[in-house]
Amino acid sequence: MRPFYLTKTRSRYQPPKAPATLPLDLPWPLLGNLSPQLFMRRYWHQCPLLVRQAIPAFALSKNAGFPLLSPISDKALFGYACDGLSEARLVEAKPWRLHHGPFKKKEIPATSQRDWTLLIQGVEARHPAAAHVLSWFRFIPDARLDDLMISIAGIGGGVGPHVDSYDVFLIQMEGRRRWKISGQADLGLRPHLPLKILARFKPEQEWVLEPGDLLYLPPNIAHEGVALDDGCQTWSVGFRSPSYRELLSEGLWRLAESLEADPALAAIYADPNQEASLDPARLPTQLEDEIRQRIQSLSFDQNPAFINGVAAYLSEPKPQAIFTPPDPLLSPRALWASLKKGALVPHPQTRLLIRNETVFCNG
């Protein structure tokens, strides 16, 4: 007897949106029955974790004879790769080739063809199902979140053995993919290729992921994923790993902007005690000392404008983000009427961060 909760035909999985308040101390099937707290302590940024049936609905439906499809169709993904609103890349193997979108429909191989994969970034801004899946991982600070990328591939498709500098959750949504991983220290690359492919990949572990399975990888774990079925879909939730150089640079230039209004720095340098010099090309020691004193008085590490600058940078949306105002624009009265009906809902591409009492929105 077919379970009453399953459709008669293959249907698409409908991922639920996570609740606003996540149960951080309870076990989650998504994390192998670990609580988010335990996962962060034992695995995050430390070691890989394979979770079978992280999304139980796939196995339940398959066992009942009605396997689920990915929430997003091949056709929709191909459309995202062609419309210019999403960053898209096409990778061909044998030999390795890399193409950047937007693409024409005829440039995208059929799913029945071998040895290719299409990568589409930021799908959470294009489809509610992807946004819902991304919401499952909001037990990790938004400041670290990058986006949800979908890889769709023909048999043999992949991007070769490589390492990433960031944490990633790999969720199998359709078809199967074989993953091989290694903790090797040798990260040398093959020369003269458009992709960063490891020259000497030595896998230590190997798994075939079925729909509903999840693999978490911390940074710098060598890995390779190869599609085993037509139209194989892997959803990747990736996290940002900015360098300290990047964070300091962004914070400092925003701090410099805030200093333009500082009256203490509006004073003009003066040197009434400067003596006659036999070496006019040499920078005066007094000038160096004055600058150092001014810098020390600013206490950059304690200046709220510096950390606020870093927060503003981390709240910047993706370069491809486009915000289109309503047409026609809402009048103040219409806006107020909308507000009375319920809370404002941010645009899917909006980034919000909070520090103390300050909200940072889109940089």
Tell me how far apart the alpha carbons of residues 18 and 68 are, in angstroms, rounded to a whole number. 20
Considering 211-220, 258-267, 288-297, the range whose residues carry the highest mean pLDDT is 211-220
Average pLDDT over residues 292-308: 83
pLDDT for residue 2 is more than 80:
no
Per-residue pLDDT of 169-224, as tens digits, reads: 999 999 999 999 999 999 999 999 999 999 999 999 999 999 999 999 999 999 99
Residues 6 or more apart whose CB falls under 8 angstroms from that of 137 comprise: 145, 169, 237
Tell me how far apart the alpha carbons of residues 90 and 229 are, in angstroms, rounded to a whole number. 18
- Of 273, 229, 204, 301, give the one whose Cα is nearest residue 74: 229
Residues of the chain with CATH 2.60.120.650: 29-239
Question: What topology is assigned to 29-239 in CATH?
Answer: Jelly Rolls (2.60.120)
- Of 227, 161, 164, 165, give the one whose Cα is nearest residue 190: 161
Tell me how far apart the alpha carbons of residues 7 and 11 are, in angstroms, rounded to a whole number. 7
Q: Please tell me the pTM assigned to this model.
A: 0.89
